Amino acid sequence: MTKYSKKASEKVEATLHEMKKGKLKSGSGQKVTSKKQAVAIGLSEARKAGAKVPQKKS
């Protein structure tokens, strides 16, 4: 399993909390209900913030 930075882990944790409260939205504005999608959004935000996260698989 890949090791992420502490900053990335915090971002993912925050997005999961948002999803559980029903406040997390996807890019199209839809409410996120999938845990997998919430983790992906958290990692994407961490990448934008400059955290140590491996490249996205295409």
Query: How high is the pLDDT of residue 57?
Result: 77
- For the cut 70, the answer to whether the pLDDT of residue 2 exceeds it is no
Query: pLDDT (tens digit, 9 = 90+) per residue, 3-52?
Result: 788 999 999 999 999 999 999 999 899 999 999 999 999 999 999 998 88
As a whole number of angstroms, the distance between CA 32 and CA 29 comes to 9
For residue 25, list its beta bridge partners.
31
**Domain coordinates in residue numbering, the chain:** 6-49
- Give the predicted TM-score (pTM) of the model: 0.83
Structure tokens belonging to residue 28:
């199209």
